[in-house]
């Protein structure tokens, strides 16, 4: 696999070394010489010092034959720009970008950029280890509106209509026993179901208390 990694922060440096050790062709682009120093020694890939989204640098890195681009800088604007240039200009089949600010993840989704957020992943992992239930934010749209996912843990079933009355949250998708369906007002939500809904950030606490509580 031919991989171009944009950004040589801790994550970029580590994944570059791991992928190179697995016999992949790896190129790392980074504007900071000091960050590139983390790759000296046992790294057997190619290192390119320069502006990450500069098209000439991307061509020099071999983007026209790249199987995947990983945008892993510590700047959302750079990651988004690199992702768009790679996918729209050079038609790279797969581009994966790191989200630095969780509140900006909706931009990646609106631009159809495959992404992951280490901050959210870390928070969810810690909450899981602490056995703390949470509403998982899928996207923040605008004006405080978010798209959320939650696994229902309340023992008493409740209708979609009643959830809206009590929390102002609109449940749109229900996953029951692995089967997804579009919700209606009279759809019943039971313990163990997974739901996707839209709600305001200020109503998240009410939503959590209603659907995760043990009655």
Q: Encode pLDDT of 85-123 as tens digits.
A: 999 999 999 999 999 998 888 888 889 899 888 887 777
Confidence of residue 166 (pLDDT cuts 50, 70, 90): very high
Q: pLDDT (tens digit, 9 = 90+) per residue, 55-79? A: 999 999 999 999 999 999 999 999 9
Full set of structural domains in the chain with CATH? 2-120 (3.40.50.720), 131-212 (3.30.70.1450)
Report the C-alpha gap between 39 and 70 in whole angstroms.
Answer: 16
What does 42-61 look like in DSSP terms, one character per residue?
T--SEEEES-TT-HHHHHHT
- Identify the three-state secondary structure at position 198: strand
Cα separation values, 88 from 20, 70, 95, Å? 27, 15, 11
Q: What is the DSSP string of 92-152?
A: -SEEEEE-SSGGGHHHHHHTT-EEE-HHHHHHHHHHHHTT---PEEEEE-STTEEEEEEE-
Geometric angle at alpha carbon 185, from 183 and 188, rounded to 5°: 70
The Cα 150–Cα 164 span in angstroms is 15
Q: Residue 80's closest CA among 29, 45, 115?
A: 115
Residue 14 reports pLDDT greater than 80: yes
User: Residue 62 in contact with residue 92, Cβ under 8 Å?
Assistant: no
- State how beta strands 145-151 and 179-182 pair: unpaired
CB 92 within 8 A of CB 68: yes
Residue pair 15/72 in contact by the 8 Å Cβ criterion: yes
Q: pLDDT category, 215, cuts 50, 70, 90?
A: very low
The pTM assigned to this predicted structure is: 0.65
Place of tokens 């996918």: 87
Q: Mind listing the pLDDT tens digit for each residue in 23-65? A: 999 999 999 999 998 887 788 899 999 999 999 999 999 999 9
């Amino acid at each position: 696999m031919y991989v171009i990694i944009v950004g040589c922060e801790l994550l970029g440096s580590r994944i570059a070394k791991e992928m190179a050790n697995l016999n992949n062709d790896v190129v790392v682009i980074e504007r900071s010489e000091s960050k590139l120093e983390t790759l000296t020694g046992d790294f057997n890939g190619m290192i390119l010092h320069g502006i990450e989204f500069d098209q000439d640098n991307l061509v020099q890195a071999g983007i026209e034959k790249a199987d995947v681009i990983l945008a892993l800088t510590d700047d959302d604007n750079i990651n988004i720009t690199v992702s768009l240039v790679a996918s729209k200009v050079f038609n790279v089949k797969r581009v994966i970008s790191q989200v630095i600010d969780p509140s900006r993840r909706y931009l990646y989704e609106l631009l159809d950029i495959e992404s992951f957020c280490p901050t959210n992943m870390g928070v969810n992992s810690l909450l899981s280890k602490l056995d703390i239930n949470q509403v998982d934010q899928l996207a923040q749209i605008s004006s405080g509106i978010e798209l959320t996912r939650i696994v229902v843990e309340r023992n008493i079933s409740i209708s979609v209509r009643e959830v809206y009355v009590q929390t102002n949250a609109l449940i749109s998708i229900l996953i029951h026993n692995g089967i997804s369906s579009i919700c209606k007002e009279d759809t019943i939500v039971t313990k163990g179901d997974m739901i996707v809904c839209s709600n305001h950030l200020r109503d998240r606490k009410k939503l959590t208390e209603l659907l995760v509580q043990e009655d």
